Structure 1
Amino acid sequence: MERRDIEIFLTLAEELHFTRTAERLGVSGARVSQTIKRLERRFGVTLFQRTSRQVALTPVGSALREDVQAGYQRIQEGIAKAIAAGRGFSGILRVGFSSPLVGEAIMAAAEAFRTRHPECEVRIREVHLSDAFGALRAGELDVQITELPVREADLSSGPVLVRDERMLAVSARHPFARRDSVTVEDLTRDTVLAPTGAPEYLLDALIPAQAPSGRPIQRARTTTSRQELLTLVSGGAGMAVVGNQATRYHARPDIVYVPIADLPPIEYGPVWPAGAQTGRVRSFITLLRAELDR
């Protein structure tokens, strides 16, 4: 049975009147009559007894109504939930972030989102570059705000929301700790520590593979978290390219942050599973952009 056929059958079974059924569904009386006749021909049985004075369900029609009603109700509820979820009016919005720079703005945007859509819960969690997109691919997140670029066939990314000046984190005992700035050429003079699981293209975007002179930059994939990275840097195991946010969120007496003069800022933006940007995801990104623009 087509969905419209089910609607006509169930409504007529409730109204037991062809004209009222037609008016309730916004169709012609002829459409109602033709639909019921077509169903009866298909099933080979009479569903309604009709006289000039009344319409009544036959025993078969009554049984069919009971069987169809429950399933149709579940279908309607499922459709309503899907539409509501797509519009952001209900359910759970799961947001990930990889940087404290956007973490504060995400919290503010989440509060604004809850005010606008109180029936939608917002859950926030941190993700690490060592497993940059694992949570998205596992269905544990709807969207995450993370380092760009993202070049994954199964993921889509949005516009740049914020930029963060690139810095070099070095031990307070390192020779560069006394410098006002460094250049990409200086990165060739020591090991640059990097996350273990970052995609190669993202690693290249964060830390160049070579300096302008052509000399290689020694990159060591050794860390899984920021705290581990900074601990290794403070111990003299190497240097690290980080955002200027580190001077605020990760200030330490044993680490110095030196500006990198000839590298562009690190860019952050939204990433979500391809084809799965729902209305609530779009709404959250809009609110987050407004928060970051303040």
Structure 2
Amino acid sequence: MERRDIEIFLTLAEELHFGRTAERLGVSGARVSQTIKQLERRFGVALFRRTSRQVALTPVGSALREDVQAGYQRIQEGIAKAVAAGRGHTGTLRVGFSSPPAGEAIMAAAEVFRARHPDCEVRIREVHLSDAFGALRAGELDLQITELPVREADLSSGPALLRDPRVLAVSSRHPFARRDGVTVEDLARDTVLVPADAPEYLLDAIIPARTPSGRAVRRERVLTSRQELLTLVSGGAGMAVVGSQATRFHARPDIAYVPITGLPPIEYGPVWPAGGQTGRVRSFVTLLRAELDR
């Protein structure tokens, strides 16, 4: 049975009147009559007894109504929930962040969002370097603010909301630690530590594979967390290109952060599962952009 057939059958079973059924559903009386006749032909049995005075369910019609009603009600409730999730601001919005500045911005936006939409809970969690998109793909997050670009077939992304100048993290014993700045050419002079599972296109965008003169940059995939990054850099295992936010959130006496010239800032933007841009996601991104523009 098609959904419209079910609606007509259940409504007529309740009203027991073709005219009222047609009026309630916004269709013609002929459409109601035709649908019931088609169902009866398909089942090979009468569902209603019709006389000039009344319409009544047959025993088969009564049994069909009992069997169909509960399932149809669950379908209607499921559809209503899906519509509410797509358009409304109820339930739970789960947001992830991959860097402290993104986390700060999300916290500020969440406070405003909760005030405007008290029926929607906002849950916030960190996304680890070792599995950048795993939580989104597992359905554990609805939205993530992370490094751009993102070029994944199953994910969609929005424009950059945050920009953070790049600096080079080195051990305080490294020769670069005594310099006021480095250039892209200097990246070829030591190993550059990078996240173990980062997509190649993201590495190329943040840490070029070659310097402007053509020298190869030795990128070693070892990092799985920020704490591991700090430990390896402080121990002299290599250098790391990071955002300048590290000078505020990860200041350490054994690590120096040296400005890099010749590279644009690291950009952060919203990412969500393809097809998953609900009303909650759109509203939160709008609020986040407004908070960052203040």
TM-score, length-scaled by structure 2: 0.93
Residue 120 (structure 1) shift = 3.0
The letter for the 2-side match of 1:160 is A
Partner of 1:48: 48
Q: CA deviation at 1:267?
A: 0.7
Partner of 1:228: 228
Distance 2:46 2:53 in 1: 18
Q: Is the 8 A contact 1:46 1:60 kept in 2?
A: yes
| TM-fit CA distance, 1:225 | 0.9
Equivalence for 1:134? 134
In structure 2, distance between residues paired with 1:134 and 1:71: 35
The alignment's C-alpha RMSD in Å is 1.8
Matching residue of 1:69: 69
Deviations 1:212-234 (A, max 9, x none): 22222222222211111112222
- Does the Cα contact within 8 Å between 2:129 and 2:226 map onto a contact in 1? no
| In structure 2, C-alpha distance between the alignment counterparts of 1:188 and 1:43, rounded to whole Å | 77
Aligned to 1:38: 38
Output the CA distance in 1 between the equivalents of 2:72 and 2:115: 34
Match of 1:108 in 2: 108
Matched letter for residue 106 of structure 1 = I
- Number of residue equivalences: 294
Shift in alpha-carbon separation, 1:178–1:88, aligned structure 2, 3 A: farther
Distance in 2, Cα, partners of 1:25 & 1:259: 68
Counterpart in the other structure of 1:59: 59
Structure 1 consecutive aligned stretches of length 4 or more whose deviation exceeds 4 Å? none
Note if contact 2:129-2:223 (Cα within 8 Å) is conserved in structure 1.
no
- Please tell me the residue identity of whatever aligns with 1:169: A
Conserved in 2, the CA contact under 8 Å of 1:154 and 1:273? yes
Percent identical among aligned pairs is: 86
Any conservation in 1 of the 2:192–2:239 contact (CA below 8 Å)? yes
Is the CA contact 1:161–1:269 (under 8 Å) kept in the aligned structure 2?
yes
Bigger mean CA offset, 235-244 vs 42-51: 42-51
Instruction: Quote how far apart the aligned CAs of 1:88 are.
Output: 4.1
Offset of 1:262 from its aligned partner? 1.1
1:29 Cα deviation from its structure 2 partner: 2.3
Deviations 1:160-200 (A, max 9, x none): 11110001112222222222211111222222221111112
Unaligned runs of 5+ in 1: none
Paired letter, 1:92: T
List alignment gaps of at least 5 residues for structure 2. none
The CA deviation at 1:248 is 1.3
Taking the aligned partners of 1:286 and 1:128, their CA distance within structure 2 comes to 25
Instruction: Please state whether the residue corresponding to 2:182 is helix, strand or coil.
Output: coil
SS state at 2:65 partner: helix
Correspondences of 1:107-256 after superposition (within 5 Å): 107-256=107-256
1:96 & 1:286 partners in 2: Cα distance? 16
CA distance in 1, matches of 2:133, 2:7: 44
TM-score, structure 1 normalization = 0.93
Could you tell me which residue of structure 2 aligns to residue 5 of structure 1? Answer: 5
- Structure 1 CA distance, aligned partners of 2:87 and 2:289? 19
Distance between the aligned counterparts of 1:229 and 1:88, measured in 2?
A: 41
Q: Which moved more, 1:145-154 or 1:47-56?
A: 47-56
The superposition leaves residues 16-51 of structure 1 with CA deviations (integer Å, 9 ceiling, x where unpaired) of 222222221122222222222222222222222222
Q: How many angstroms does 1:82 deviate by?
A: 1.4
Structure 2 residue identity aligned to 1:52: S
Q: Which stretch shifts more, 81-90 or 143-152? A: 81-90
Cα separation, 1, equivalents of 2:33 and 2:252: 80
Letter in 1 for 2:212: P
What amino acid maps onto 1:30 in structure 2? A
| Superposed displacement of residue 123, structure 1 | 2.1
